[in-house]
Amino acid sequence: MATNIKSTDLDFENIKNNLKTYLQEKENFKDYNFEGSALNNILDVLAYNTHVNGLIANFSVNESFLNTAQLRSSVISLAEAVGYVPRSTSASKASVNLSINIPELSRPSVVELPSGTKFTTQVEGTIYTFRTLEKFTATPDTNGLYEFILTDGSNEIQISEGIEKEKTFYVGELIESQVYVIPDKTIDTSSLAIKVYPTSTSPDVDAETYTNLNTANRITADSKHYQIKEVPNGTYEIIFGDGLATGKRPVSGNKIKVTYLSSKGPTANGATLFSPQSNLNVLGYGNYPITVTTVAASAGGAIKVSIESVRQNAPIAFASQQRLVTAEDYTAQIMSRHGNVLQDVISWGGADNVPPVYGVVYVGLNFKSGISETVQQQTKDDIVALLTDNFAIMGIETRFSTAQNTFI
C-alpha cells in the first residue's frame, strides 16, 4: 500500500524522505540507491518546491485571520473589514495663555492672532515646533493688554506640535479610478483640513469644507464628508462619497487641498516653556512681542496604534456596532475615539451602581500622565456631544466617575 505524503509537514528533509518512501514501495525502485543517483537531485527540487509552496500557503492562510496575521497591512485591512479605523500618530498638545501689550493710546479695538502662529520649545535637548491651528482674537483692557480667547471666552489656547504640510489633488474624468494618497506616515489624521474648489483657480470663498464621516449624524447625497484609512505601505488614503449613500463626490475639474500636521508623536510630550518664533504684526501699528504663559505642559502625543492593540480592539469595536446599548459599548467607543489621551476606560450601568441609579451610565476615565484639566474636560464634553447624544438610548445619561488607582 502506498504511503500518503503529508502536505502539512513543512520540513524539507521530511518531505524528501516521504518522497523516497513512496518511490521505494514501487517495484522499479525497491532497492534503488537514491543518495548516489541523479534522481536524488530531482527529489531535492521536488522537496524544495513542496516546502516553499507549503510555507507560502501557511503564511497566506495565517494572514487571512485577525488573530494570526503578522503583517501590519493585513491586520489593518482585516480591522477595516469590521469597521475599525486604527488611530494614526497623534500630535502632542499644550495649553497656553497668549497676549500682547500695546501701550500707545491709539490702538486697535481688535487684534487677530493668525492660524499657524509658531512657537518653539525644547525637550531633552531636541527642539520642537508647536503652532496654533485656528485664528484667535483679542480686545484691549484699560492698560492696552490684549489677551487672546476662544469663541467660548476661555483664554486657554491649545497649540499642537508638528510641521504643517499641504497636498493638492486635481479630480480627473469620473470614469477614472480616483486615488488620493497622502505620502506621509507621520500624519495626525485628526488635524486634517480638506477643502474642495470648483476649479484650479477658484478663491477660498468658493471652497467647500469636507469633514470626517465619523463625525456625521445624518448623511445625504449632498453631505460633504471624507473617510481616511491607512494603506499597506503605511501612508494614508482619502476617500470621498459616491454621490449617493456616503455623501457628495468631487467632480471632474475640482481642486482638492489637504492640509495637515506631520508630527513626531510622544517625543514632544513634557514641554513647559514655549517661545514665539516671531513678533505679532498688527497692521498699521507695528510688531509686538507675544507673551506666552504655560497652563499645561504638552501631552497626548502618541505613535500609531500598535498591531496588538488593533488585534485586541477591533473585535470589541465591531461588537459595539456604532451604538451605545451595553456598558461595554461605551468602553469600546470611547477607547476607539480617545485612545491617544486615555490609558483605560471602565463603564457600568446605573443598575449596577451602589446605590442603584436608573437611567444613567457611569464612565470612569483613566487619563494618561500629563493630560491637562482642560483636555480632560474637553474629552468628557466630546463624549457627551458626539457619542451619548448621537448613539445612546434616549433618556440614558452619561455621568463621569473619578478614576482611582489601587496598587496591589
Strand stretches in 248-407, DSSP E: 255-262, 275-276, 280-282, 286-288, 291-299, 342-349, 360-367, 397-402
pLDDT digits (tens, 9 = 90+) for 334-379: 887 887 788 889 999 988 888 888 989 999 998 887 787 878 888 8
The two most distant CA atoms of the chain are separated, in Å, by 113
pLDDT in tens, 260-309: 999 999 999 999 999 999 999 998 888 999 999 999 899 889 999 889 98
Beta carbons of 175 and 186 less than 8 angstroms apart? no
Q: Name residue, grid cell 474629552.
A: 379
CB 104 within 8 A of CB 66: no
Note the pLDDT of residue 4: 52
Domains in the chain: boundaries:
12-62, 93-162+265-299, 167-258, 321-402
Please tell me the distance from the alpha carbon of residue 9 to that of residue 57, in angstroms, as a whole number.
12
Look at residue 1 in the predicted model and tell me its pLDDT. 40
For residues 215 and 92, give the distance between their C-alpha atoms in angstroms, rounded to a whole number: 22
Please tell me the pTM assigned to this model: 0.76
* Grid coordinates belonging to 148: 487672546
5 has pLDDT over 50: no
| CATH no., domain 321-402 | 3.30.300.200
Phi, psi of 279 (to 5 degrees): -75, 160
Question: How far apart, in whole angstroms, are the C-alpha atoms of residue 102 and residue 113?
Answer: 14
Mean pLDDT for the stretch of residues 47-51: 84
Say if residue 45's pLDDT is above 90: no
Tally Cβ neighbours within 10 Å of residue 218. Answer: 6
pLDDT tens across 182-233, in order?
A: 999 999 999 999 999 999 999 989 999 999 887 777 788 888 999 999 998 8
Closest CA to 51 of 63, 43, 61: 43
Amino acid letter at 115? Answer: S
Pick 343 or 8 by higher pLDDT: 343
Place of cell 443598575: 351
Mean pLDDT, to the nearest integer, of 113-131?
A: 94
CB 43 within 8 A of CB 16: yes
